[in-house]
Amino acid sequence: MRNNQSEDLIITRNEGLMHLTLNRPDSLNAFSPEMIIDLKNALKLAKNDKTIRVVILSGAGRSFSSGGDVKTMGKKEPLEAYDHIGELNELILLMRDLEKPIIAAVHGFAAGAGFNLALACDIILAAENSKFALSFSKVGLISDGGGLYFLPRLLGPYRAKELLFSAEPITVEEAHALGIVNHIYPLDDFQDKVDEFANKLASGPSIAYGFIKKITDQSFNSTLDEILEQERITQATIISTEDHEEGVQAFKEKRQPNFGKTIAKSVNTNH
């Protein structure tokens, strides 16, 4: 296990997993410029490191993230706010462009841009004490961090606008019923359940996962013809990969495929 800790973000790497822990617990992990930069750098590392197969995003202390820092609200000049949100936008785009699964492990509150940070992930796992809120309108603002993109696509425009207008928190059970949360786990063994889920993903075919993520995200802005052609081209490409070869061989031998050996072989070859 290799660890790296900065002031606002803790990075832990272990057996194919990269844990990114937002580390401003005294402010419920409100965003800071440093935190956003650290997250961007970590995702760039994950993109270029073949041994990292899954990224897990979580928060230290009592909550996942409260989003924007209340202490700085009302103090930013327009240009400063524009630049800050530009950095956040770059982070969200890096998350969507990373062709590896990103899991949001949410406990406590995911509010404002913290909620949207979770929505930018591929899977949301939540502890039973979680609550979600898009609280922007309470301070006279609109959602940023991609909320106005992700939420309507997930819930439809009418339900999304209701949540955005009201800014009222919803329980984890409501979030699960709406399709926001994939699974709810007891708080006492939440981390173990997240790791179990992540390890199962990490043992899967990472090449196929990357294409699944990319094409699924593109499908919202594509025609059926375009997606069919993407599937055709991609399938013709990855049918010659070692992942596919291993999957077929494992099926014939009635055993679990060992997709991880493809990555290990690639890494050893590069050294």
Can you give the three-state secondary structure of 67-89, one letter per residue?
A: CCCHHHCCCCCHHHHHHHHHHHH
Query: Do 253 and 173 lie in a common domain?
Result: no
pLDDT tens-digit series, residues 65-100: 998 876 666 567 888 888 889 999 999 999 999 999
Q: What is the pLDDT of residue 6?
A: 65
233 and 192 housed in the same domain: no
**Model pLDDT for residues 59-71, shown as the tens digit of each residue:** 999 999 998 876 6
**pLDDT of the residue at 256:** 87
In this predicted structure, what is the pLDDT of residue 269? 39
Query: Which residues, including other chains, have CB under 8 Å from residue 121's CB and lie 6 or more apart?
Result: 57, 95, 102, 103, 104
**Residue environment code for 56-87, b if the CB has 16+ CB neighbours within 10 A, otherwise e:** bbbbbbebbbbbbbeeeeeeeeeeebeebeee
Looking at the fold, whether 118 and 39 belong to one and the same domain comes out as yes
* Domain end point (choices 177, 202, 227): 202
Kindly report whether the global pTM for this prediction surpasses the value 0.75: yes
Say if residue 3's pLDDT is above 60: no
Helix (H, G, I), strand (E, B) or coil at 257: coil
Reduced to 3 states (helix: H, G, I; strand: E, B; else coil), residue 173 is helix
* Tokens found for residue 139: 């301070």
Q: Which two tokens stand for residue 75?
A: 């103090």
pLDDT at 30 over 90: yes
Are residues 87 and 20 part of one domain? yes
pLDDT of 222 > 80? The answer is: yes
Using the predicted structure, report yes or no on whether residue 14 has a pLDDT greater than 70. yes
Q: How far is CA 125 from the centre of its chain?
A: 10
The reply to whether 111 and 239 lie within a common domain is: no
Question: Measuring CA to CA, how many Å separate 133 from each of 49, 157, 166, 190?
Answer: 34, 17, 9, 21
With a pLDDT cut of 70, the percent of the chain lying above it is 91
The torsion defined by the Cα of 35, 36, 37 and 38, in degrees rounded to 10, comes to 50
Assign 173 a pLDDT band (cuts: 50, 70, 90): very high
CATH number of domain containing 115: 3.90.226.10
Number of domains in the chain: 2
Inter-CA distances, 181 with 1, 40, 75, 153, Å: 29, 24, 34, 15
Between 245 and 269, residue with greater pLDDT: 245
Mean pLDDT of 28-37: 93
Residue 75 confidence (pLDDT): 64
For residue 237, pLDDT beyond 90 = yes
Out of 167, 202, 237, pick the residue that ends a domain. 202
Q: What CA–CA distance (Å, rounded) separates 190 from 187?
A: 5
Tokens of 112: 């404002």
User: What confidence score (pLDDT) does residue 71 get?
Assistant: 67
Q: Note the pLDDT of residue 70.
A: 65
Please tell me the predicted confidence (pLDDT) of residue 259.
Answer: 86
Query: Which of 160, 177, 202 corresponds to the end of one domain?
Result: 202
Write out the residue range of the structural domain in which residue 8 sits.
Answer: 2-202
Between 68 and 112, residue with greater pLDDT: 112
Q: Residue 271 half-sphere exposure, CB side, CA atoms within 13 Å? A: 7
* Distance from the Cα of residue 94 to its chain's centroid: 10
The pLDDT value given to residue 10: 96
Range name among 8-17, 75-84, 239-248 with the lowest pLDDT average? 75-84
pLDDT confidence of residue 1: 42
Q: Are residues 123 and 214 in the same domain?
A: no
180-215: pLDDT as tens digits = 999 999 999 999 999 999 999 999 999 999 999 999
- When comparing pLDDT for 175 and 267, which is higher? 175
Q: Looking at the structure, tell me whether residues 174 and 213 fall in a common domain.
A: no
Tell me what the pLDDT averaged over the chain comes to: 90
What HEC string does 8-68 produce? CEEEEEECCEEEEEECCHHHCCCCCHHHHHHHHHHHHHHHHCCCCCEEEEEECCCCCECCC
8 A C-beta contact, residue 42 and residue 34: no
